[in-house]
Amino acid sequence: MSEAVAQAKPQNAGTTRLAALLRHLQSEQLEHVIAEEEGEAGESTHPVATILVAAESLPQLPRLLNEFCRRNEMSLVYHCHRAADQVFMLSWLSEQQRPQFISLRVKHPNARPGGWWQRKSEHLRRWRDPCGMLIACLGPVGSGRTNIVEHLGARPLAPFDSAHVMDLRPHIMRKQPVVPNSRVPRGPLGTLAKLMMFVADYWLGYWLQIRPKLVAATMVVSDRYFDDILVDPSYYRIDRFRSLARWLLPWIPRPELWLVFDVPSEVLQKRTREVAAEEAARLRSEYRKVLRRREDVVVLDAGQPFDEISAEAERAIVAQLARRTARRLGLPDTSKDNPTSTDVLLFFCRRHVPLLSKLVRVLFNSDIHCRLPVDVHMPHPYGIVLHRQAVIGHRVTIMQQVMIGGRDHDQNIAPVIGDDVTIGAGARVLGDVRIGNGATIGANAVVTRDIPPGATVVGADRIISRRRNSPTDEAEESAKLTRFPVSSRRNSAA
């Protein structure tokens, strides 16, 4: 065992957490030695520590790191093999709600240069489980989608070595972009040829361009994707064969994360005059419909300022990295188990078996049409009604008799529920509202406005508490809640 050597750099949140991590490994009696610094911390944008761990102690390291993250409100977001070393990366949120990182480089004291077979095995493993990530960004013109894509491409997050921005498709087959001024629909043969070209371009581009970049730990951000054809076919001069385009979706390589930029039509009208009010409302509804069957979809509130929406996009990427890392390392699932009745209901709701799915809905008196993550928790799956355009986050608890639906004057837009939200029995969440992460909706509550993260709601839009991010929040909490108007809603405020 060796004691941590104090670093010459001034102490900050990253170095403090890194020192706490090393103390945690020492307290758990992990046989390791802190190696001398070799310049990694100076070359990196975040603190890095290097330790030597015996081969017999390596299997318990992911469990210890996961336990440290659980105790300190952090996440294990990255793990990769580099030569004979392993790199683990941990993340937490700063006061500005942006992800921060620390890295732990693990070396084997008796490691030797591998032979030909070992190098090939390492290469195949990286092709099977690449460290990069393909992210698709969808949203109407004027939603700020392009600015966020450029921001992510210019400043890749720490887990990625680089970033690559793609416009709609890889452009292997035909490099000329769509001409915006041309709106004449193609004929049947032209439309069919266009769709087949898209399929070939995505397949060839993925295996020749995108996959090698993912293996090289590159974050590939796509500004639009093939699914955009179903939302706005006129932009691509397609007015027929939409059923064929929908049938081709499973044959297109799918991204690991979808970022949907959702913005109220009133706000979109103020930003751009290119889209009429009716068309803006239709596009907003269509984006929800296209992706309601997709997993790992995050609907961003594009009505926020640029800094807030960029931070929200970064948090979504880091959360997806944490889920992927937990799956690859085989970390224990922290989500709550559902009863058998819930598994039966969700099985038939997700697969839409003719007649049988409808019969199961009738037996449970539940009507669920929206996309549900695998870690949703329903202890009593009876009388639950979920709108087909509702967006449900991860680790959400939904009790019995809950309704999440739309309102007639909201263009049939349903709520967006954040992660780690608890919705009590008999609660109603209606209309164009967003429920922040970690919020609690009390039993029989009625919610018709946005709820901040960590808040607790009872009755009709009555917030009785909210999360405290700093000591000053406690002193200002009462005044802030008093000034929060009961009748305020996102559409009117916009």
Mean pLDDT lowest among 107-121, 267-281, 345-359: 107-121
- Rounded to an integer, what distance in angstroms lies between the CA atom of residue 6 and that of residue 17? 13
Q: CA–CA separation, 376 vs 249, rounded Å?
A: 26
pTM of the model: 0.83
Residues of the chain with pLDDT > 70: what percent?
82
Kindly give the pairing relationship between strand 85-93 and strand 99-107: antiparallel
Q: Answer yes or no: do 31 and 180 share one domain.
A: no
Type of residue at 459: G
Q: Tokens 């997806």 label which residue?
A: 320
Judgement on whether residues 355 and 314 belong to the same structural domain of the protein: no
pLDDT of residue 2 exceeding 60:
no
DSSP one-letter string for 321-363: HHHHHHHHHTPPP-SPPPPHHHHHHHHHHHHT-TTHHHHHHHH
pLDDT tens, residue by residue, 376-399: 999 999 999 998 888 888 889 999
Domain CATH number, residue 471: 2.160.10.10
Q: What is the DSSP letter of 388?
A: T
Q: How far is CA 155 from CA 161, 189, 219, in A?
A: 11, 42, 10
pLDDT band at 351 (very low <50, low <70, confident <90, very high): confident
pLDDT in tens, 197-215: 899 999 999 999 999 999 9
Is 40 or 422 the better-scoring residue by pLDDT? 422
For the chain, what is the radius of gyration of the CA atoms? Answer: 24
Give the whole-angstrom CA distance, residue 476 versus residue 256: 40
Phi and psi angles of residue 221, each rounded to the nearest 5 degrees, phi first: -110, 120
213 CB neighbour count, 10 Å cutoff: 19
Domain boundary among 115, 140, 166: 115
Reported as a pLDDT band with limits 50, 70 and 90, residue 282 is confident
Q: How many domains does the chain have?
A: 3
Residue 256's pLDDT band (cuts 50, 70, 90): very high
393 plus 457 within the same structural domain: yes
The kind and range of the H/E element at 297 are: strand 297-301
Query: How far apart, in whole angstroms, are the C-alpha atoms of residue 299 and residue 391?
Result: 7
Q: Does a structural domain hold residue 462? A: yes
Other C-beta atoms lying within 10 Å of the C-beta of residue 466: 21
Reported as a single tens digit per residue, the pLDDT across 236-255 is 878 777 788 888 888 899 99
The whole-number pLDDT of residue 183 equals 64
Half-sphere exposure (Cβ direction) of 124: Cα atoms closer than 13 Å: 6
Local structure of residue 230 (DSSP, 8 states): H
* 490: number of Cβ within 10 Å: 19
Task: Give the CA distances from residue 383 to residues 340, 364, 399, in Å, rounded to whole numbers and listed in that order.
Answer: 16, 7, 9
Question: Is the model more confident about 277 or about 473?
Answer: 277
Average pLDDT over residues 216-245: 85
pLDDT tens by residue, 3-25: 333 333 434 788 889 888 888 88
Q: Given a cut of 80, is residue 272 above it in pLDDT?
A: no
Among the candidates 115, 142, 169, a domain finishes at: 115
Residue 12 is predicted with a pLDDT of: 79
pLDDT interval class at 91 (50, 70, 90): very high
Instruction: Work out the mean pLDDT of the chain and round it to a whole number.
Output: 81
CA 97 to chain centre: 15
Pairing outcome for strands 133-138 and 257-262? parallel
- Of the listed ranges 146-150, 354-358, 405-409, 418-422, the one predicted with least confidence: 405-409
User: Which among 480, 479, 466 is positioned nearest to 437, based on CA atoms?
Assistant: 466
**Phi-psi bin for 140: left (phi > 0), alpha (psi -120 to 50), beta?**
beta
Q: 99 with 140, same domain? A: no
Question: Would the pLDDT of 472 be above 80?
Answer: no
Same domain, 156 and 235: yes
Q: Does residue 379 share a domain with residue 408?
A: yes
Question: Token pair of 232, please?
Answer: 């706005």
Higher pLDDT, residue 306 or 483: 306
DSSP state, residue 377: B
Given 309, 329, 349, which residue is the final one in a domain? 329
Dihedral sign, Cα of residue 154, residue 159, residue 162, residue 168: negative
CATH number for the domain spanning 187: value is: 3.40.50.300
86/202 same-domain check: no
- State which residues form the domain around 468: 340-493
Whether 273 is in a domain gets the answer yes
DSSP-H helix ranges across 137-187: 145-154
State residue 114's pLDDT score. Answer: 58
How many CB atoms lie under 10 A from the CB of residue 333?
Answer: 11
Please state which of the ranges 21-30, 187-196, 223-232, 283-292 shows the lowest mean pLDDT: 283-292
**Which two structure tokens, joined as six digits, stand for 67?**
């336990």
pLDDT for 482 equals: 34
pLDDT for residue 466:
63
Least confident segment among 145-149, 206-210, 282-286 = 282-286
Predicted pLDDT of residue 113: 58
Residue 486 and residue 425 share a domain: yes
Burial grade of 393 (CB within 10 A; 0-12, 13-18, 19 or more): buried
Cβ burial 269-303 (10 Å sphere, 16+ → b, else e): bebeeebeeeebbbbbbbbbebbbeeebbbbbbbb
Does residue 348 share a domain with residue 322? no
CA-to-CA dists, residue 384 to 361, 414, 446, 458, angstroms? 10, 15, 15, 19
Q: Which amino acid is at 421?
A: V
Residue 56, pLDDT score = 80
- Please determine, for residue 407, whether its predicted confidence score (pLDDT) is greater than 70: yes
> What pLDDT, on the 0 to 100 scale, is given for residue 5?
35
Residues 111 and 150 both lie in one domain: no
Q: What is the mean pLDDT of residues 150-162?
A: 91
Q: What is the pLDDT of residue 285?
A: 80
Tell me the average pLDDT across 285-311: 83
Q: Are 368 and 376 in contact (CB under 8 A)?
A: no
Question: Comparing 236 with 274, which gets the higher pLDDT?
Answer: 236
Q: What is the pLDDT of residue 44?
A: 60
Yes or no: say if 417 and 411 are a contact pair by the CB < 8 Å rule. Answer: no
Flag whether pLDDT at 467 surpasses 70: no
Res. 42: pLDDT tops 60: no
DSSP-assigned beta bridge partners for residue 134: 220
Q: Choose the weakest-confidence range: 41-50, 171-180, 423-432.
A: 171-180
Q: Is residue 361 part of a domain?
A: yes
* pLDDT given at position 474: 45
